[in-house]
Amino acid sequence: MLTRREFLRTAGLLALAPYLNVRAEREIWVNDVHSQMNRTRVRALLAPRTQDELAQAIRRATRDKMAISVSGCRHSMGGQQFATDGICIDTRELANVVAFDRERGLIEADAGIQWPKLIDTYLEAQHESAHPWGIAQKQTGADTFTLGGSLSSNVHGRGLAMKPLISNVESFTLLNADGKTVRCSREENAELFRTAIGGYGLFGFINRVTLRLVPRRKLRRVVEVMRADGAAKRFAERIASGFLYGDFQFSVDEKSPDFLRLGVFSCYEPIADDTPITAAKHLGNDDWLDLLTLAYTDRAKAFQRYADYYLSTNGQTYWSDTNQLSAYLPNYAQKLKEKIRDGNESSLIITEIYVPRLALADFLRQAADLLRDAGVLVIYGTVRLIEKDDESFLPWATQPYACIIFNLLTNHTSAGIDRSARAFRGLIDVAIALGGSYYLTYHRFATREQVTACYPQFGSFLALKKKYDPDERFQSDWYQHYRAMFGKN
């Protein structure tokens, strides 16, 4: 086995040693944390601690013609964070709030900061303020997402009348392949602003982000169990009544006629500032693990327990920003394997499908039949709303959509992966037929025809990648997949 120094010299990386987080053995493997389906060998992991270290690492990699990939907390599942045999830069050491303009509600932070730290920092700075600021949205389901990763996927949350995250971004700075800083906003380098947000790390290293905050509000949760056939109308009624956030979490019991057709509808209405916060009940990690275990073994009981819990919280009050925080088990697959005593290696792969809101009930009916026929199990699923994104170059929200999220249980065998892949492609076909689309972030199972139908500008996106990074220094296995699919040499 090589010593650490011998490994670095062999790999041509000795000059980068202060910024590397590597083991002594020759091979270094990384993976995404949720699906665990993207095990990738990289040449080295870099963990720069300062902006100078970051710029120096990028310049050295460029000089030595090494591919660079950028990873945060590794929640994307399509291979966007990793490039086989490339240098992987882990952003998480770069995690400070740089500036907070309390007059205008603007906060600037390193792209490696995770949402809980960002929230804690601005709350501490405003602990005596009568009119505090808060984030408008973050992605739900987990908190350990970096700010830069959230921009790179142009994420969204549970807002009932919100556009994706790009709408909350004032500006950002990006380091190009020469290690030079480029400022991007709607007025300055506007094309790069539009392209790098939702650009999956291919246009440079997003290293500092300025977010627009919104007034922090108190909210009341209103919960009911209802049929999916009425969800679109109920969403519209809630929006008209001034509700700010909400979702519809549907039954995943494929043996029931209520499969995907009955759900827990939870929405949040603004209340007076002097109303006390009464969110006494919440789900912790152990609670989520118990629910996941039930979803694997008794989906009818899992939905009933989930519905009972949410109904018991009807009327509880929350802050608009901290209510968006949620528990997540990064090692859920191993814990479930231990609890269920199932010898199979498996995990959940997510897909997110979009359809016009009035087509939601029709889509869910067709999806239920398709998933039953495919023999795949849905462990968790929800419906949210999104407004049209009219800013990013590669928008996934091309009109006001209903967003349907499925977590499919996938065995890590050729047959298991193929079964899930066919189900995902089938769901995309149903969405396209209804005038919808899908999210590129979670897998690479879509055909070229499906990609082109949902993202007709994808070829131009690849051309812009070459314009801003002609040597293709910023790489990923995700990019290589689509580069080959669209015949780019």
Tell me: do 159 and 23 sit in the same domain: no
Tell me: do 80 and 101 sit in the same domain: no
Tell me: do 15 and 158 sit in the same domain: no
Tell me: do 75 and 110 sit in the same domain: no
Tell whether 171 is covered by a domain.
Answer: yes
Which residues constitute the domain of residue 411?
A: 218-320+331-453
Tell me: do 204 and 61 sit in the same domain: no
Tell me: do 151 and 298 sit in the same domain: no
Tell whether 487 is covered by a domain.
Answer: no
Tell whether 463 is covered by a domain.
Answer: no
Tell me: do 49 and 164 sit in the same domain: no
Q: How many domains does the chain have?
A: 3
Tell whether 488 is covered by a domain.
Answer: no
Residue 105 belongs to domain with CATH number: 3.30.465.10
Domain end (from 215, 243, 260): 215
Residue 32 belongs to domain with CATH number: 3.30.43.10
Tell me: do 135 and 34 sit in the same domain: no
Tell me: do 297 and 248 sit in the same domain: yes
Tell whether 419 is covered by a domain.
Answer: yes
Domain end (from 185, 215, 245): 215
Domain end (from 150, 185, 215): 215
Does the predicted model carry a pTM greater than 0.75?
Answer: yes
Tell whether 10 is covered by a domain.
Answer: yes
Tell whether 459 is covered by a domain.
Answer: no
Tell me: do 164 and 272 sit in the same domain: no
Residue 290 belongs to domain with CATH number: 3.30.70.2520
Tell me: do 358 and 381 sit in the same domain: yes
pLDDT in tens, the chain (489 residues): 444 444 444 444 545 555 454 443 468 999 999 999 999 999 999 999 999 999 999 999 999 999 999 999 999 999 999 999 999 999 999 999 999 999 999 999 999 999 999 999 999 999 999 999 999 999 988 899 999 999 999 999 999 999 999 999 999 999 999 999 999 999 999 999 999 999 999 999 999 999 999 999 999 999 999 999 999 999 999 999 999 999 999 999 999 999 999 999 999 999 999 999 987 778 888 888 899 999 999 999 999 999 999 999 999 999 999 999 988 888 888 888 887 877 679 999 999 999 999 999 999 999 999 999 999 999 999 999 999 999 999 999 999 999 999 999 999 999 999 999 999 999 999 999 999 999 999 999 999 999 999 999 999 999 999 999 999 999 999 999 999 999 854
Tell me: do 211 and 229 sit in the same domain: no
Q: With helix as H, strand as E and coil as C, how does the chain read?
A: CCCHHHHHHHCCCHHHHHHECCCCCCCEEECCCCCCCCCEEECEEECCCCHHHHHHHHHHHHHCCCCEEEECCCCCCCCCCCCCCCEEEEHHHCCCEEEEECCCCEEEEECCCEHHHHHHHHHHHCCCCCCCEECCCCCCCCCCCEHHHHHHHCCCCCECCCCCHHHHEEEEEEECCCCCEEEEECCCCHHHHHHHCCCCCCCCEEEEEEEECEECCEEEEEEEEEEHHHHHHHHHHHHHCCCCEEEEEECCCCCCCCCCCEEEEEEEEECCCCCCCCCCCCCCHHHHHHHHHHHHHCHHHHHHHHHHHHHHCCCCEEECCHHHCCCCCCCHHHHHHHHHCCCCCEEEEEEEEEEEHHHHHHHHHHHHHHHHHHCCCEEEEEEEEECCCCCCCCCCCCCCEEEEEEEEEEECCHHHHHHHHHHHHHHHHHHHHCCCEECCCCCCCCCHHHHHHHCCCHHHHHHHHHHHCCCCCECCHHHHHHHHHCCCC
Tell whether 285 is covered by a domain.
Answer: yes
